[in-house]
Copies of this chain bind each other. A is one copy, B any other.
Amino acid sequence: MVPVDQEADVPSTRRDAKNALFDGFGRIAAALGSGRRAEIVEVLAQGERSVEQVATEIDQSVANTSHHLRTLARAGLVASRREGTHVHYRLASDKVLEVWLAVRGLAAEQLAELDALADAYLGDRSQIDEIDREELLARLEHGDVVVIDVRPTGEYAAGHLPGAISVPPEEIDELLDELPADREIVAYCRGPYCVYADDAIRRLAAHGRSARRLREGVPEWRRLGGPVEVSAPGPRPDGG
C-alpha cells in the first residue's frame, strides 16, 4: 500500500513527516553552525561555565552569549544549572563532545582554508613538534619527560594529566627556570586550537629550551580514556 511511493499524488504526510524528522537532525547541526556557538561548545568542553565566563571567553556581550546559550540549550546541546544568581552551563552529554570533535576533525581534513585560518590565529606551527597520546603515555612510563599544563589554574585543578606541572600562561617566564633542564618538556592545553601551548613553546624556545606539544587537549585525552588527576577538593573547577 504505502511502500516506496514518493510521487506527488499522495502529497505525502509521509514526505512531510520525513521533512520534519530531518529538520530535527538539522536543528542539532544548525546549533553548531555559527562560529560563536562552536566556540561556546569548545569552551564548555573544558568544563562548566557561567554565562558571564563564557561571554568573557568568547569576547561577546552577555546578552548575545545568553542568547546563543539558549539556542544551544533548545537544540539539546547544553544544559544549565542555577546556583544563586549565576546560571552555569555545561555540555548536555558526552555525545555533544563526539559531535564537536567530529566536526572539528572534518573541518581540519576537508576545509582547505582552515590551515591558513589556524595559522592566522595560532601563528606558524611548522616549527612546533607534536607528540601524540600514545607516545606520551609510553614516555610517561619511562619518566624521562616533564609535562606542563598551560591552562588557567582553575582548569588545571578540575583535572590534569598525571604528574603535570601547572604553568598558567601568564607565569611561563617566572616558572621557566624551575623546569628540570635534563628532561624533555611536553606542553598541553585545551586542545589543538588553543593558543596557550603554542605560545608557551615559543617562549621556551626563545630561552633555548625545546618542547613538544601534545596533540590532544584535555577533553580529547579524557575521552580516549587517558588518566586524569584532580587537585585537592578545595579549589572549585572554575575558580569562582
Contact = CB atoms under 8 A, between A and B. Distances in A.
A42 B35 CA distance: 24
A interface SS class? helix
A28 interface: yes
A222 interface: no
A109 B121 contact: no
Which of A2, A3, A93, A113 neighbours the largest number of chain B CB atoms within 10 Å of its CB?
Answer: A3
Contacts of A110: 28, 75-77, 92-93, 95-96
A5 to B, nearest CB: 10
Interface residues of A, number: 70
A143 B154 CA distance: 57
Interface stretch (A100-108, A175-183, A224-232): A100-108
Which of A56, A120, A152 neighbours the largest number of chain B CB atoms within 10 Å of its CB?
Answer: A120
B15 A59 contact: yes
